[in-house]
C-alpha cells in the first residue's frame, strides 16, 4: 500500500514537472516565413530568433554538441478526422564548439556541409536563417482538398549524451523549442 502511494506521488511530481516546463517562455521564435513556388516546386524562406539557454550554452562551451532540428510538414485538412501529414522535411544542424581555435562549427547533417564561425552569434545567425528550403512538388496537391503547412524548430534533447538526458527532459533550462507556425497553402 505504501509503495502504491509513493508511486502515485512520484508520478504526480513528474507530471507537474512536465506541466511547469511547458509554461516557460520559448527561446526560439519564428520571426518571418515566406513560401513561394518556382517551376511547381514549393520553397520556404524562414527567419528564426534562436537563443541558447544558459545551461545549453554552458554545455556547448564544455564540448557537448547540440543538435537543432527544423521540421516542416504539409498536412491535409480533414473535417472529421485529425489532419494527415502528406510530406515532412527536416533540417538538422549539429552545433559544436572547438576550444583549441575557439571557433564554432555547424554541420548540416542532411548534406554533410560544414561551416566554421569565429563566434557563437555568427553561428546562431546561420541557424536562424533558412533560405530556399525545398518542401514539395506542387503537383501532389489535389484541387478539392485544403492543405496547411507548418514549421517548428527545437533542440533535440535525445541527441545529448546519456548522462545529460534525464536532466534535459525534465528541466526548463533545456527547453528550447518554437511553437508550430502554421499557414494555409494556396494552390
pLDDT at 55 over 50: yes
- pLDDT tens digits along 94-130: 999 999 999 999 999 999 999 999 999 999 999 999 9
Residue % of the chain over a pLDDT of 70 = 86
Measured in residues, the chain has a length of 187
pLDDT score recorded for residue 105:
97
- pLDDT tens digits along 67-86: 999 999 999 988 888 889 99
Cell triple for 46? 524562414
Position 126 in a domain: yes
Residues forming beta bridges with residue 42, ordered by sequence position: 37, 136
CA distance 106 to 13: 37
What pTM did the predictor assign?
0.80
**Structural domains in the chain (count):** 1
Position 66 in a domain: yes
Position 34 in a domain: yes
Say which residue, 2 or 137, is predicted with more confidence: 137
Q: Hey, which bits of 56-102 come out as E strands? A: 66-76, 84-98
Position 103 in a domain: yes
Question: Who contacts 107 (Cβ-Cβ below 8 Å, separation ≥6)?
Answer: 93, 94, 96, 113, 114
Position 124 in a domain: yes
What backbone torsions phi and psi does residue 65 show, to the nearest 5 degrees?
A: -70, 150
pLDDT score recorded for residue 162:
92
Position 169 in a domain: yes
Position 49 in a domain: yes
Question: Who contacts 49 (Cβ-Cβ below 8 Å, separation ≥6)?
Answer: 28, 29, 30, 31, 128
Cell triple for 92? 538538422
- pLDDT tens digits along 8-41: 433 333 333 443 444 344 578 888 889 999 998 9
Position 13 in a domain: no
pLDDT score recorded for residue 13:
37
Domain extent, residue 72, equals: 26-184
pLDDT score recorded for residue 1:
52
pLDDT score recorded for residue 4:
42
The C-alpha angle with vertex 138 and arms to 137 and 144, in degrees rounded to 5, equals 140
Sign (positive or negative) of CA dihedral 98, 169, 174, 87: positive
Amino acid at each position: 500500500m505504501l509503495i502504491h502511494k509513493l508511486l502515485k506521488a512520484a508520478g504526480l511530481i513528474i507530471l507537474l514537472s512536465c506541466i511547469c516546463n511547458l509554461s516557460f517562455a520559448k527561446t526560439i521564435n519564428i520571426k518571418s516565413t515566406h513560401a513561394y513556388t518556382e517551376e511547381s516546386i514549393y520553397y520556404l524562406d524562414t527567419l528564426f530568433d534562436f537563443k541558447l539557454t544558459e545551461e545549453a550554452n554552458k554545455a556547448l562551451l564544455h564540448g557537448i554538441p547540440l543538435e537543432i532540428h527544423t521540421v516542416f510538414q504539409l498536412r491535409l485538412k480533414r473535417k472529421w478526422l485529425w489532419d494527415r501529414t502528406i510530406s515532412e522535411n527536416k533540417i538538422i544542424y549539429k552545433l559544436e564548439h572547438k576550444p583549441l581555435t575557439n571557433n564554432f562549427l555547424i554541420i548540416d547533417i542532411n548534406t554533410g556541409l560544414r561551416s566554421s564561425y569565429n563566434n557563437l552569434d555568427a553561428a546562431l545567425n546561420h541557424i536562424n536563417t533558412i533560405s530556399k528550403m525545398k518542401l514539395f512538388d506542387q503537383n501532389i496537391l489535389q484541387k478539392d482538398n485544403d492543405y496547411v503547412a507548418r514549421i517548428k524548430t527545437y533542440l533535440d534533447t535525445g541527441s545529448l549524451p546519456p548522462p545529460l538526458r534525464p536532466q534535459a527532459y525534465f528541466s526548463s533550462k533545456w527547453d528550447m523549442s518554437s511553437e508550430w507556425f502554421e499557414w494555409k497553402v494556396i494552390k
